[in-house]
Chains A and B, each alone.
Chain A
Amino acid sequence: MAALWWRRLPGLRGAVRGLSGKKEYDLLVVGGGSGGLACAKEAAQFGRKVAVLDYVEPSPQGTKWGLGGTCVNVGCIPKKLMHQAALLGSAVRDAQHYGWNIAQPVHHTWSVMAQAVQNYVKSLNWGHRVQLQDKKVKYFNMKGSFSDPYTVCGLTKGGKETIVTAENIVIATGGRPKYPTHIAGALEYGITSDDLFWLKESPGKTLVVGASFSLECAGFLTGIGLDATVMMRSIALRGFDQQMASLVTEHMESYGTKFLKRCLPTKVEKLESNRLQVTWKNTELGTEETDSFDTVMWAVGRAPDTETLNLETAGVKTNSETGKIVVDASEATSVPHIYAIGDITEGRPELTPTAIAAGRLLARRLFGQSSELMDYDNVPTTVFTPLEYGCVGLSEEAAVQCYGSDNIEVYHAYYKPLEFTVAERDATQCYMKMVCLRESEQRILGLHFIGPNAGEVIQGFALGIKCGATYPQLMKTIGIHPTCAEEVTKLHITKRSGLDATVTGC
């Protein structure tokens, strides 16, 4: 009864609440993803009363999932597992060179993989719920929107409302894949990453439109034996070192992924056979081309999930171009007690570990007497394409732009992983480069590595860069033999010298 009365007079209630002071919760987190959950759990450790609101609006195709956010459900986790499935396909081939007798044919069944991946993701959803319970964080499976700066109205799937008030609010609602709605048929017939990992049946012959995440997807689809094509408007992996991006796509081409470069899709139609007919413009040749696919996946960028939050009511400002929430170095929005972390924030990397770190540090600053701010510099990352690309620090272009090409030195090497030798695998694109300042200390500005286990290789070096590592310090480090990573400690050929950068011998 009380709830009904409050609803009829929302404005009054809000004003009364704001004045009354005592809020239900010390911290309310809107969004139960990587950042939100980390923040909530950390705050709870300080004995605070914390609540989390999490809700998944089904994708246009109807896909939805549980607690945990993008990373767990439709991002990093299922992506890496499917990438692993593809890598294992290569392992099966390699094994034969190493003496394993495997009767042909060898084939891959999507549904076995998808089921296994989906089951694991569901166990993570469950794990998160248990953790929240253990840490006494109240969890609401509701869609939140601001009624006033201290009040969020949560709506369940069935339409039931719950009002939640808090002293501090953290917005961590993340983003969702964009649909190119100006293309006819894009919304009706296309899927996105939100759907790919939850497909029960194989996507079959697939067209992935986009030039970043699309590469990872097309990569593993090719690896498990499907016909996959990437359609790109211009450059691949925008924002990443472009020499490395070319090596990545070159490898994918030799691996079997098809590329439609400099092409723009114009329409998607459904055929009688249920296949999809895609028409596109080849901007280089000026021609119009067409082909049919079983699945069309859009990977053309992500949009912040702020539409239904009612941010104006709370007074939270967003960037007019991107729609993301503007925050300062302490993650505070334009409203002092409202914060934002993760993919929803303007100018921050869209990565799980940064969201988690930002969330934890925020909780410590709010409730743990800490003043430590998040350091967004030199954040390492890895692209899990068939031949992986790991990097930390500046790309060569960025370093040149920042310091001038005369003031930087680039050490590089083409190497061959030992495991590729017996397996007779092509190592043409296995390459690494270190971008350093040229002056006496030779501080390392960026490290780029393409090869197997790129993430494992780069992580430790990222630590080194955090410590201000210089080229001489890296050269003093003895290598571990035989690994790929040791080649980083042996880099000595500069681009400037023009010498052959192929590693020879032991």
Chain B
Amino acid sequence: QEAAKYEKKVMVLDFVMPTPLGNSWGLGGTCVNVGCIPKKLMHQAALLGQALQDSRKFGWQFAEEVKHNWMTMTESIQNYIGSLNWGYRVALREKKVTYENAYGEFVGPHTIKATNKRGVEKLYTAERFLIATGERPRYLGIPGDKEYCLSSDDLFSLPYCPGKTLVIGASYVALECAGFLAGLGLDVTVMVRSILLRGFDQDIANKIGEYMEEHGISFIREFVPIKIEEGTPGRLKVTAKSTKGNQIIAGEYNTVLLAIGKRDACTRNIGLDKVGVKINEKTGKIPVNDEEQTNVPYIYAIGDILQDKLELTPVAIQAGRLLVQRLYAGATRKCDYVNVPTTVFTPLEYGACGYSEEAAVEKFGEENIEVYHSHFWPLEWTVPSRDNNKCYAKIICNIQDNERVIGFHVLGPNAGEVTQGFAAAMKCGLTKEQLDSTIGIHPVCAE
């Protein structure tokens, strides 16, 4: 859309390979269809379930029995996603960007072959190419995984309630899904191989896990599944082995959701070898320079497929826009990948920006950092007597650099809304002193 603003002739090829279970979706990519958007909406549904309970303490009265209907929720969400798919198609048309719902692969220099759903092939040439094909969930490679397991690609459009669910994995996708499924009243178990939320601050990751456990989610730790098969009618039997010994366990569930934290970059079958674009053979990711250029000068890449970059929608959007402005508007600004804030939408939300405590210690040395921390009790949780010692915030400061704030972590409601402004402040070089001299807004969690 940005390139079209500069009156360039632009084409977009988008194609969704169906999931092993046969699911597909429209224009918009992971975020809109099977990521951020439906995830946040289902998380919201779960939060509203909690709000219903709280509301009684605030004087609201209605029948004791409150049940959740999966189909009503999923239909509403899918309708909204449909409107977004449509909105993108309209926007592309209005901006005169040619759109084809076809699978693209390079066949030679400056030439791409587009194959649509019906197998019809067309060839296109372009001066420049941008690869933004993203990734798809990875399967375990164990018997029964592709036949019986769901991934996040299937969950958000599931036409029946998942029921008793086993979530395999400890990624943010696994924990967010387990979280909202439990919030909707389902029986949820999470099977974790080793640690939670690898790459995130581990102190906070453990607090998140603890909170989930205290709120009805079971965890099976240090086990990996080795087989998935049909169990009693309507159920799946999962057999798992301990990572610490020879113990074998088995359990039955209505649904098994795989979210092991690794995704496969969609780079292997798009003809990159034909044009000489180097990829990391092990991960499939594409290395680029700081201007998002691959080793082939007229081919660029952005988003989840990039090596050593963050897999986040706003990062991809920013990178894309700035790239186009550099190519066609004479701009020089590059995407700033430092201090990118993020939020994990688990039942107790976690917002973060900058270094985790471990990373800060490793980079600067324990004696050179100061960690300020505090538990807090959101005012809205007092009346309904919700946990008074779970919400938590910490900032990590670099003593040698004027106590500059290099890490911000908050665990509590609306963590994303809270974190955003702090990320902006960190971009401005926030120090502890400046933080101390800022007046709080009362009464809110962010203060």
What residues of chain A have their CB less than 8 Å away from a CB belonging to chain B? 71, 76-77, 80-81, 84-85, 88-89, 91-92, 94-95, 97-114, 116-117, 120, 224, 351-354, 357, 375, 379-382, 390, 418-419, 421-422, 453, 455-464, 466-470, 473-474, 476-486, 488-489, 504-506
Give the distance to chain A from B251, nearest Cβ to Cβ, in Å: 27
Q: Are B441 and A459 in contact (CB under 8 A)?
A: yes
Max chain A C-beta neighbours (<10 A), residue from B59, B73, B341, B383: B59
B66, B417, B430: the one contacting A467 at CB < 8 Å is B430
Residue of A nearest to B32 (CB): A506
Q: Are B318 and A506 in contact (CB under 8 A)?
A: no
Residues of the B chain whose Cβ atoms lie less than 8 Å from the Cβ of A102: 52, 62-63, 66
Chain B residues, Cβ within 8 Å of A468: 428
Is B313 interfacial (CB-CB < 8 Å)?
A: yes
Partner of A88, one of B60, B87, B382, B423: B60
For residue A349, which residue of chain B has the nearest CB? B439
For this complex, 29 residue pairs linking A to B, each with C-beta atoms less than 8 Å apart, are A71-B442, A81-B58, A84-B379, A88-B58, A92-B52, A95-B45, A95-B49, A97-B76, A101-B68, A102-B63, A112-B61, A116-B59, A352-B442, A456-B445, A457-B417, A460-B420, A460-B424, A463-B430, A464-B425, A466-B434, A467-B425, A479-B420, A482-B36, A486-B416, A488-B420, A504-B87, A504-B91, A505-B84, A506-B32
CB distance from A118 to the nearest CB of B (A): 10
CA distance A353 to B445 in the complex (A): 13
Tell me which of B51, B418, B423, B441 contacts A92 (CB under 8 A). B51
Which of A113, A458, A506 is most buried by chain B, counting CB atoms within 10 A of its CB?
Answer: A506
Which residues of B lie under 8 Å from residue A506 when comparing CB positions?
28, 31-32, 37, 84, 313, 317
Question: B421 contacts which of A109, A352, A459 (Cβ < 8 Å)?
Answer: A459
**Residues of the A chain whose Cβ atoms lie less than 8 Å from the Cβ of B266:** none
A381 CB to nearest B CB, Å: 6
Residue pair B428, A469 in contact (C-beta under 8 Å): yes
Known contacts A116-B383, A483-B420; A476 and B55 CB within 8 A of each other: no
- Type the 1/0 row for B366-405, where 1 means its CB is closer than 8 Å to any CB of A: 0000000000000110110000000000000000000000
How many residue pairs between the two chains, A and B, have CB atoms under 8 Å in the bound complex? Answer: 289
For residue B420, which residue of chain A has the nearest CB?
A: A485
With A120-B382, A464-B421, A467-B428 as given contacts, are A103 and B45 in contact (CB-CB < 8 Å)?
no
Q: Return the contact of A98 from the options B32, B73, B314, B445 (Cβ within 8 A).
A: B73
Q: Report yes or no: A462 in contact with B438, Cβ–Cβ below 8 A.
A: yes
Chain A residues within an 8 Å CB radius of B417: 453, 456-457, 483-485
Bitwise interface map of B from 316 to 348 toward A, beta carbon under 8 Å scored 1, else 0: 011000000000000000001001111100000
- B444 and A480 form a contact (CB under 8 A): no
Q: Is residue B312 contacting chain A, with contact meaning CB distance below 8 A?
A: yes
Contact B418 A105 (CB under 8 A): no
B57, CB-defined interface residue at 8 Å: yes
CA of A419 to CA of B52, assembled, Å: 16
Contacts of B416 in A (CB 8 A): 480, 482-483, 485-486
- Tell whether, in the assembled complex, residue A418 and residue B437 are in contact, meaning their CB atoms are under 8 Å apart: no
A120 touches B383 (CB 8 A): yes
Do residues A98 and B440 form an inter-chain contact, with CB atoms below 8 A? no
Report B85 CB to chain A, min CB distance, Å. 11
Q: Are A460 and B422 in contact (CB under 8 A)?
A: yes
Q: Is B69 an interface residue (CB 8 A)?
A: yes
Do A480 and B55 contact each other (CB < 8 Å), given the known contacts A77-B379, A106-B61?
A: no
Q: Are A76 and B443 in contact (CB under 8 A)?
A: yes
Q: Which A residues are in CB contact (< 8 Å) with B63?
A: 102-103
CB distance from B135 to the nearest CB of A (A): 17
Bound together, the chains give a CA A84 to CA B31 distance in angstroms of 31
Chain B: CB-nearest residue to A96? B72
For the complex, is B214 an interface residue (Cβ under 8 Å from A)? no
CB pair A461 B424 closer than 8 Å: yes
Residues of B within 8 A of A80 (CB): 379-380, 443
The interface residues of chain A lying within 8 Å CB-to-CB of B444 are 382, 453, 455-456, 459
Cβ–Cβ contact A474 & B424, under 8 A: yes
Q: Which residue of chain B is the closest to A487 with respect to CB atoms?
A: B420
User: When chains A and B are docked, how far (Å) is the Cα of A354 from the Cα of B40?
Assistant: 36
Candidates A106, A380, A390, A478; contact of B336 at CB < 8 Å: A478
**With a CB–CB cut-off of 8 A, which chain B residues contact A469?**
424-425, 427-428
Find the B residue at minimum CB distance from A89.
B60
Asked if B315 is at the interface of the complex by the 8 Å CB criterion, the answer is: yes
Q: Which residues of A contact B58 (CB under 8 A)?
A: 81, 84-85, 88, 112-113, 116
- The residue that A379 contacts in the complex, of B59, B312, B439, with Cβ under 8 A, is B439
Q: Give the contacting residue for A418; candidates B40, B59, B68, B434; CB below 8 A.
A: B40
Partner of A95 from the list B48, B424, B440 (CB cut-off 8 Å) is B48
B52, A460: Cβ atoms under 8 Å?
no
Question: Which of B51, B54, B87 lies at the interface centre, i.e. has the most chain A CB atoms within 10 A of its CB?
Answer: B51
A505 is contacted by which of B55, B80, B88, B427 (Cβ under 8 Å)? Answer: B88
Q: Are A106 and B62 in contact (CB under 8 A)?
A: yes
Q: Distance in Å from the Cβ of A101 to the closest Cβ of chain B?
A: 5
Interface residue B67 (Cβ < 8 Å from any Cβ of A): yes
How long is the Cα–Cα vector from A469 to B421 in the complex, in angstroms?
11
On whether the beta carbons of A89 and B428 are closer than 8 Å, the reply is: no
1/0 per residue, CB under 8 A from A, across B286-314: the answer is 00000000000000000000000000111
Q: In the complex, are the beta carbons of A81 and B379 less than 8 A apart?
A: yes
How many Å lie between the Cα of A486 and that of B342 in the bound state?
Answer: 11
Question: A418: which B residues are within 8 A, CB to CB?
Answer: 37, 40-41, 44
* Neighbouring B residues of A88 by C-beta, 8 Å: 51, 54-55, 58, 60
